[in-house]
């Protein structure tokens, strides 16, 4: 209770100060000053409740929805996309959410839920949303931004799915999280049945028809919405709804078997995209917010 009281007191004091100062602004940049003070206040409140987290931008007005996130070619730029019901477009944005470019693909967006990137700059758009566990047309689209009209299809099926749909207790074939590593796409399922296990499958990154093989089962108290591997391969993040799970290890295989450090993100919104960015993480929400989370040395 003392923590909540302290936060409420802090909010009241900051709001009072902000309003008082805003009333004294008379210059032509009054609107910008108000916006800056509002953002500063918001970040002070966020930082007080979630140390290391701050809001850095907004996709509102430029991108209708963010369901996945990866680094783009230039530092501080990113690709994001929408899921079912949205256009088959990759949106390139900067850290503040400003729209820089649009790449429209010549393939459908049945339910794009995640995006990954390899060391050569190839992008993998995962049309793997499978809410009802009934899909037989799961596909990952491979392309390079330098030639976006040349798109390869990685069609696949899960090795252990025999029924479409399976019984309710076994419905764990929806996927909203992916990453690329060593010639394979790793898919992390969203456990709609019991919300406690994310199965990890690996499939070739080459176009063609493949079978996704089960390589691990991770104990996750919730539903995984995105995943990313650090450039050095020693850190893994799994994103959930207003929470994330951080792993450290010498290899991806080791981290898939290790226990995570859970970080709660209360009030952040429907967190859907995450990517490593220097010593921090950039997080996007379905509502369009962009956050930056500074990693601590032990994370």
Position 54 scores a pLDDT of 96
Take residue 216 and report the two structure tokens written for it.
Answer: 């691990």
Take residue 125 and report the two structure tokens written for it.
Answer: 């758009």
CATH 3.90.1150.10 holds for 53-294: no
pLDDT in tens, 215-268: 999 999 889 999 999 999 999 999 999 999 999 999 999 999 999 999 999 999
Domain ranges across the chain: 2-46, 53-294
pLDDT in tens, 20-58: 444 444 444 555 555 555 556 457 556 658 999 999 999
Put simply, whether the predicted model's pTM sits higher than 0.95 gets the answer no
Extended strands (E) in the chain: 53-58, 68-71, 77-81, 89-94, 99-104, 114-117, 123-127, 139-143, 152-158, 174-181, 184-190, 197-204, 208-219, 226-229, 235-240, 243-248, 261-264, 271-277, 280-285, 289-294
The three-class DSSP label of residue 27 is: coil
pLDDT in tens, 214-228: 999 999 988 999 999
């Amino acid at each position: 209770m003392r923590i909540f009281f302290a936060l409420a007191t802090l909010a009241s004091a900051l709001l009072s100060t902000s309003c008082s100062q805003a009333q004294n602004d008379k210059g032509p940049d009054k609107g910008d000053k108000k916006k800056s003070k509002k953002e500063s206040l918001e970040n002070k409140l966020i930082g007080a409740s979630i140390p290391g987290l701050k809001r850095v931008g907004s996709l509102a007005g430029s991108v209708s929805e963010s369901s996945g996130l990866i680094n783009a070619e230039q530092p501080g730029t990113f690709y994001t996309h929408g899921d079912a019901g949205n256009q088959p477009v990759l949106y390139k944005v900067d850290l503040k959410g400003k729209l820089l470019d649009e790449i429209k693909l010549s393939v459908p967006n049945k339910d794009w839920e995640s995006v990954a990137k390899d060391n050569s700059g190839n992008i993998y758009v995962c049309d793997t949303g499978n809410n009802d566990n009934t899909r037989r047309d799961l596909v990952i689209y491979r392309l390079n931004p330098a030639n976006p009209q040349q798109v390869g299809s990685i069609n696949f099926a899960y090795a252990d799915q025999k029924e479409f749909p399976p019984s309710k207790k076994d419905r764990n074939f929806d996927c909203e999280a992916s990453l690329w590593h060593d010639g394979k796409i790793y898919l992390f399922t969203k456990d709609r049945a019991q919300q406690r296990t994310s199965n990890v499958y690996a499939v070739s990154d080459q176009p063609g028809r493949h079978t996704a093989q089960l390589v691990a089962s991770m104990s996750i108290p919730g539903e995984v919405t995105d995943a990313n591997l650090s450039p050095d391969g020693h850190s893994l993040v799994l994103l959930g709804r207003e929470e994330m799970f951080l792993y450290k290890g010498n290899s991806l295989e080791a981290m898939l078997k290790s226990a995570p450090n859970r970080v709660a993100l209360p009030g952040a919104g429907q967190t859907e995209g995450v990517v490593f960015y220097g010593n921090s993480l950039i997080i996007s929400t379905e509502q369009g917010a962009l956050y930056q989370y500074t990693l601590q040395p032990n994370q």
